[in-house]
A and B are shown apart, each in its own frame.
Chain A
Amino acid sequence: MRRVILIADDSPTIRKFVSVALSTKGYEIIACADGMEALEKLPGNKIDLLITDLNMPNVDGFQLIKSIRENEEYKELPIIVLSSLGSSEDIHRGLEYGANSYLIKPFDPKRVLYEVSKYLN
């Protein structure tokens, strides 16, 4: 069965980068433009992993991670942050909110695949 990955990023190019990198390895991708949309798409789809940006409109990445971790159903969902915010404070904050991995843009697609495979293979 194909593993489903939810990508939340307001940049269409980043959504495409990640989608291209992961779909070639057989993952099913669901892309959305902000945290609000991601929260809406979580219940209806069997999401195995979330890749999220932090700077997003409506619900940002931090709020998205917090909301997910507060929900018992998604407490164990692997979350990979993909952000241009690269200061120690931001990384700490991301991890404190419940992210499992933190990748800084610009990213190597191989590294994204490696992180995904750590949780899904």
Chain B
Amino acid sequence: MENKLSMEQVFEKLGDLKQFFIFGQKIVPLFKKIIDFMTDIVPLLENVNNSIQDTTSKIPKAAHQINSVTSATEIATSEILDIVDSMSNDMTKIKNELSDLKNGFLNQRVALDAFAQKVPASSETLEELKSNLSIDELESKVISLEEVINKIELDATNITISLQVQDITAQQLASVNHLIHSVQEKLSSLMVDFNKQEGFVLLDTETPKVDPKVFNPNAKYDRSEAHQSVADQLIEQAKRNNNDNGNKTSQEEIDKLFRNNG
């Protein structure tokens, strides 16, 4: 009786063992697949790791190159501005000279008229002299020269406005450098995680850190008056709220000021 019970237990155990072998037969191909997958993925991960290392080592160079671009455009802009400034000074001198010439013509006319009044008989000769002096003709040439100078001055102003694109692009580039720095930080931490077991030491390849306070990531080179007009309206409104008489700045007012100030 006791023997029969033991044999049943043995068969039961053998049944379990058979189930285990059946399960094993099923699981082995799965393990094989996992091993194949690991065999494939490890070189791939190594490749990713190497790519990250490679990219991380190149990032600081890219960031420094961006800084070099900013510095170079700063120098070039400054040089152009110096030239424009020098041109503007020359224009002012020419304008003053032309103004003196116009005064000279006026004085000549006054002198000729005074002479005509003193010596009435000479009026015919004076007319001939006036004609020879070509005062009207020369004066109209001076006036047209003044118009050309005014146009050059306006062009110079437009150049200075256009040159401000340097400041806008510098801010955009600073924003890019800020992003690059963030990417490099993430990649560096990934690399440290990847290479923990191997006693990996991260190379000191820091990108220049950019304080997010120093740039406007949305800086745009926009010469339309739309934003300025909003600013003017808000200032006007603020002044009204403060019971101050805020006057909207018109282009006419600005032009008037510059006509008066020369």
Q: Answer yes or no: do A and B interact.
A: yes
Q: Scoring A residues 105 to 116 as 1 if CB is less than 8 Å from chain B, else 0, what string do you get?
A: 111111101100
Q: Scoring A residues 1 to 20 as 1 if CB is less than 8 Å from chain B, else 0, what string do you get?
A: 00000000011111011001
Tell me, yes or no, whether A103 is within 8 Å of chain B by CB.
Answer: yes
- Residues of B within 8 Å of A105, CB to CB, are 164, 167-168, 219
Q: Is the CB of B167 within 8 A of A108?
A: no
| B63 shortest CB reach to chain A, Å | 17
Q: Is the CB of A55 within 8 A of B214?
A: yes
Tell me, yes or no, whether A42 is within 8 Å of chain B by CB.
Answer: no
Q: Which of A57, A85, A88, A92 contacts B214 (CB 8 A)?
A: A57
CA distance in complex: A84, B217 (Å): 10
Q: Is the CB of B81 within 8 A of A106?
A: no
Q: Is the CB of B166 within 8 A of A13?
A: yes
Interface residue SS majority, chain B: helix
Q: Is the CB of A110 within 8 A of B258?
A: yes
Q: Is the CB of B234 within 8 A of A55?
A: no
CA distance in complex: A10, B161 (Å): 18
CA distance in complex: A6, B171 (Å): 22
Q: Which of B77, B85, B222, B234 contacts A92 (CB 8 A)?
A: B234
Tell me, yes or no, whether A30 is within 8 Å of chain B by CB.
Answer: no
Find the A residue at minimum CB distance from B211. A57
B residues 137-191 touching A (CB-CB < 8 Å): 157, 160-168, 170-171
Find the B residue at minimum CB distance from A9. B167
Q: Scoring B residues 230 to 262 as 1 if CB is less than 8 Å from chain A, else 0, what string do you get?
A: 110011001000000000010001100110010
Q: Which of B81, B85, B163, B220 contacts A84 (CB 8 A)?
A: B220
CA distance in complex: A85, B228 (Å): 11
Given A13-B77, A105-B168, A113-B258, 11 more contacts at CB 8 Å?
A11-B74, A12-B74, A16-B78, A21-B160, A84-B220, A86-B220, A95-B238, A102-B235, A107-B161, A111-B254, A114-B249
- 6 of the cross-chain contacts (CB-CB < 8 Å) are A12-B78, A13-B166, A16-B78, A24-B88, A86-B228, A114-B257
Interface of B toward A, CB cutoff 8 Å: 74, 77-78, 81, 85, 88-89, 157, 160-168, 170-171, 211, 213-216, 219-223, 227-228, 230-231, 234-235, 238, 249, 253-254, 257-258, 261
For the complex of A and B, 8 pairs with smallest distance between CB atoms = A86-B227, A106-B164, A84-B219, A102-B231, A11-B167, A114-B254, A104-B227, A13-B77
